[in-house]
Amino acid sequence: MTAEATAKTQDATEAQEKVSTIPPDELARLSDDVIAALKTVYDPEIPADIFELGLVYKIDIETFDPPWTPDRMSEEAQVAVGWY
């Protein structure tokens, strides 16, 4: 197998591994929410947000693995939210 063929196979494998388990409509909503939040962050020297300036190249949303649980919180965070 040539180096080029090996690279293409690796790219295809990586693309398959990145398939989201999030439903497409939820993924679109999350992406829109992230973009809306990014548009509130302004460059300190230019009166434009970082999204419109083109400083964000890609938004890649993945599921948590393993799923998050409150057990993953530090004791300090649990105290802050009143769970300790």
- The answer to whether 52 and 68 are in contact (CB under 8 A) is no
* Residue 16 pLDDT class (50, 70, 90 cuts): very low
- The answer to whether 51 and 62 are in contact (CB under 8 A) is no
* pTM of the shown model: 0.55
* Residue 66 pLDDT class (50, 70, 90 cuts): confident
pLDDT at residue 84, as a whole number: 74
Give the rounded distance of the alpha carbon of 60 from its chain centre.
4
